A and B are shown apart, each in its own frame.
Chain A
Amino acid sequence: MIIYFPGCTTNQRFPELRKRVERILRKMEVDYILFDEVCCGSILRNTGYREEFEENRKRFLEKFPEGDMIITGCPGCLSTFREEFPELPEVKHISEFLSEKLPEMKEIKLKVAYHDPCHLGRGLGIYDAPREVLRKCGVEVVEMERNRELSWCCGGGGGVRLAYPELSRKLSEIRMEEAKKAGASVLVTSCPFCLRNLNDVNSEVEVKDLIEIVEEALDDRK
């Protein structure tokens, strides 16, 4: 059985995104259960609350259901699971899961840039899977000047959005300018923190999660 863990930010700030993932899973006839009762503790870990993290970890493990594989769309949760929860089954990012399972779809006329979320790219080395998903979705992917290992942080991580929102905001504005410069009409990311931070910027470039592109492409197929 597959466990889908949306993560708190997706669950509570982007409930529509969670629903999209669930619709895609059903459409692909994937048997899954959803778990969203306890936070993974990623924020505790990044801001220095180690004791609190351990406390939360215990509670998380008490409640977490049995399963064979976890999938999540949140790179923060993903790296926390991979680095701090050795007792859990294999954890995959939704882009890794979809890059293998998705069919090839027909080309659509859409130019997107892909923003590598820090914890997914540099953190876990997942650069190709989301790009492969976009390719299968038939969209044209353009690269921004700073991409992959040199990708520019959206400013949403490490507790900076909470502690120094003005810095966080500036970093996201810079990223949106780079997307525009690359000639993209949509900036696609694969992290709810990036989505939230980049979305706050007023720009003619639209910001979307990878999942939105996937669902639109799947719908288009019919």
Chain B
Amino acid sequence: MIGNELEKILKEEDKIRTRMKSFFLVLQRLKDEMSDEQREMVEKLKEKRKEAIENVEELLKRAEENFISSGCQVFHAKNGKEALNYIFSEIEDEEMVVKAKSNVLREIKLDEKAREKGIEVIPTDVGDRIVEILNEDLTHPTGPAAHLSAEHIASRLSEVFNTKIPPTPEAIANFIRDDTMKYIMKAKVGISGANAFASEGIISLVHSEGNISLVTRIPEKHIAVLGIDRIVRSAEDTVTFAKVQSLYALGKPITAYVDLISGPSKTGDIEKKIVKGMYGPREMHVIFLDNGRKKLMKRFPELARCIGCGACVLVCPAANVAASLFGHSGHRSARGIAYSYFIEGLESAISRGLFLCTTCHSCSEICPMGIELPKIMKEIRREAVSNNLRIDAHERVVKLILEEGSPYPKKS
């Protein structure tokens, strides 16, 4: 199956080049930005993440208690389906909701499943919205449209909206903002993920466009889906998390916004009585999503330290070229293959590109959390092989090595 798709993708020369250029630009920024101070911060976060994953059960329990005491409603979802059912029951009769860009929401296929129920989910991140309107594949967690040129985007958008949009980044961004704002102002429900969350009962949302602040303030209900592996101990840790993430995702020391949210909006200014839903949402729902993460944390605890910056995507040859063929819908590159394995199983990991990895170590070299993805790929390959899910071409060579002492036939 990968074969046919791959052939098609390899022909999309423009997209490959635009993507490679965008990715490399971020890598250069990261290189210029890196200092000893930054390196120290990264090391500190790595330790914090390690500690949090080791004590995840305790921290999750505390997080839940703290969210509840600040007025949130907490739900535990074992899988995507449970999370979606909860979200749909909270959306009630609304036909449209707005969302922040989030890998977890992609992972549970919120947009697709909502559409089946007649609910339209409007992405508010510019890149995300473009990719959605143009029905394209996303290319990087923080730069979904990094493979599309301004000219391509403008001409396709002009078609879809039957108008004339100049092919400049400014004109496109303005157009998308004006259109998206209409939905944000109307929506009753805003859905987000969380870059991280603290056991103190605080979620962090990292963004540059400002859209996430609107999605989580303007609608009366905010639903946040939290991948349980994104836990840290304190609010301070979520800020370090945001800084490292920004550095490795964008090559910038910090994004324009880091929102920390611990509960619904309220005022106690009148007779000291609490009135909920003052300028922000009246309700905040927090979903703790497992979806294979407990298994993942047990099997590969170092992988659970991942902060989702996507630096591994920027350097990965397979992700640069084979793009969406390599990884899970919410999680690109080798990391996504590993997530597929825990979310959907071994066969899914293979169909999502387990054997597309050249084991080149680019990802492990750059990973701020020191995750050795090639090692994890080899472990999952090992399971594939022992479960008889093998690649024919590999089988032939293995036979030769064992029978003739070399991968090449002796007489050739």
Contact = CB atoms under 8 A, between A and B. Distances in A.
Binding between chains A and B: yes
Interface of A: 8-9, 11-13, 37-39, 41, 43-52, 55-56, 59, 118-119, 122-123, 145-146, 149-153, 155-160, 162-164, 166-168, 170-171, 174
Interface stretch (B78-86, B216-224, B272-280, B356-364): B356-364
Given A41-B401, A43-B407, A162-B393, A150 B27 contact: yes
B361 A39 contact: no
Given A47-B385, A145-B24, A118 B359 contact: yes
Given A145-B24, A170-B10, A171-B317, A164 B385 contact: no
B358 A153 contact: yes
A11 B156 CA distance: 54
A44 B401 contact: yes
Given A47-B398, A167-B356, 5 more contacts: A39-B407, A43-B397, A149-B366, A158-B377, A163-B391
B371 to A, nearest CB: 14
Interface residue SS majority, chain B: helix
28 contacts: A43-B401, A44-B398, A44-B401, A47-B385, A47-B391, A48-B384, A52-B401, A52-B402, A55-B402, A56-B401, A122-B360, A122-B364, A123-B361, A150-B362, A152-B317, A153-B317, A153-B358, A155-B317, A158-B358, A158-B359, A158-B360, A159-B394, A160-B358, A163-B391, A163-B394, A167-B10, A174-B20, A174-B321
B312 interface: no
Nearest to A12: B408
Contacts of A51: 386
Contact of A46 (B321, B359, B366, B386): B359
Interface in B240-266: none
Contact of A38 (B380, B386, B405): B405
Nearest to A11: B406
B215 interface: no
A13 B410 CA distance: 11
A190 to B, nearest CB: 15
A137 to B, nearest CB: 27
A47 B364 CA distance: 18
A44 B384 CA distance: 13
Contacts of A11: 406
A49 B381 CA distance: 8
A146 B377 CA distance: 24
